[in-house]
Amino acid sequence: MPLREHLLELRKRLFLAACGLAVGAVAGWLLYQPLLDALQAPLHVAAQEQGKTIALNFTGLASALDMKVKVALFLGVIVSCPWWLFQLWAFVTPGLTRREKGYAYGFLAGAVPLFLGGVGLAWWVLPHAVDILAGFVPEGATNFTDAQGYLSFVMRLVLAFGLAFVSPVLIVGLNMAGLVRHESLAKGWRWAVLIAFVFAAVMTPTPDALTMIFVALPICALYFGALGITVLHDRRTDRRRIAQAA
């Protein structure tokens, strides 16, 4: 596909993904208060357990409005994940046959639960991270956490974990589309493990190694699971080609 057509396809997919995000953001706008309460819950728990004053701080007149818009977009990304994941697949694998396009449904069937699983893992990590980081606040001091900074921290954590969990499904999808083979993936398994642990170390802002390991192991397991599926698929494809050639 020429570069110009690639750019047009990218623009089309980004526009469609943005439309889905906007629809999801409407739900986020309506559910703002319950979601904000859930986001603040780790701060309140840490404050009660440690006997400290920890609360969100809105530093500007328009900060509360900005916070509501960002929270709405944040929930919109999660709610509309089946739609924009489909757009991602459609952009990565354009011009495929009808059979190959059918892989899109399998991609979504695996990608959506894994994305939500990554979001759930990040949500599990969040209270532990907040509790440990709040422990560095000196006794008698008050921690007024900037609302915008806290929300950005949570969004990066949740979305990074969600996308990390989706990446193995994308690898399998590319393999089934004939764009990558298992030999290439097998050669890079050490790099994959290293990247998983570095990602876990960066995205879990806690000093304990145990949390990092708990985060990295599922990502490694998903990668090797994807590698196993690609091996089976390539072997079946090779046998079919040999049979057809004979």
- Note the pLDDT of residue 1: 56
- Note the pLDDT of residue 3: 64
In this structure, the strands spanning 142-146 and 53-57 are parallel
- Note the pLDDT of residue 138: 81
Question: Which residue blocks in 102-208 are alpha helix, DSSP H?
Answer: 103-134, 147-176, 182-187, 189-203
Q: How confident is the model at residue 188 (pLDDT cuts 50, 70, 90)?
A: confident
Which has the higher per-residue pLDDT, 209 or 115?
115
What share of the chain in percent tops pLDDT 70? 91
- Note the pLDDT of residue 47: 85
Helix (H, G, I), strand (E, B) or coil at 126: helix
Burial of 19 (0-12, 13-18, 19+ CB in 10 A): middle
Average pLDDT over residues 99-107: 67
**Which distant-in-sequence residues (6+ apart) come within 8 Å of 174 by Cβ?**
92, 93, 180
- Note the pLDDT of residue 98: 64
Q: How confident is the model at residue 169 (pLDDT cuts 50, 70, 90)?
A: confident
pLDDT surpasses 70 at 60: yes
pLDDT surpasses 70 at 246: no
C-alpha separations of 102 from 2, 177, 231, 232, 239 in Å: 24, 10, 20, 19, 22
Q: How confident is the model at residue 214 (pLDDT cuts 50, 70, 90)?
A: confident
Helix (H, G, I), strand (E, B) or coil at 145: strand
Helix (H, G, I), strand (E, B) or coil at 143: strand
CA dist 90 and 108 (Å) reads 11
- Note the pLDDT of residue 95: 58
pLDDT surpasses 60 at 96: no
The predicted-structure confidence for 123-158, as pLDDT tens digits, reads as follows 888 888 888 888 888 877 778 888 888 888 888 888
* Cβ atoms within 10 Å, residue 66: 14
The predicted-structure confidence for 11-41, as pLDDT tens digits, reads as follows 888 898 899 889 989 988 998 889 888 888 8
Which residue carries 């390991």 as its tokens?
213
Domain boundaries of the chain, sorted by first residue: 3-245
The conformation of residue 142, written as its DSSP 8-state character, comes to E
Residue 143 and residue 53 in contact, taking contact as beta carbons nearer than 8 Å: yes
**Average pLDDT value over all residues in the chain:** 82
C-alpha separations of 112 from 42, 86, 104 in Å: 26, 10, 12
Which has the higher per-residue pLDDT, 95 or 67?
67
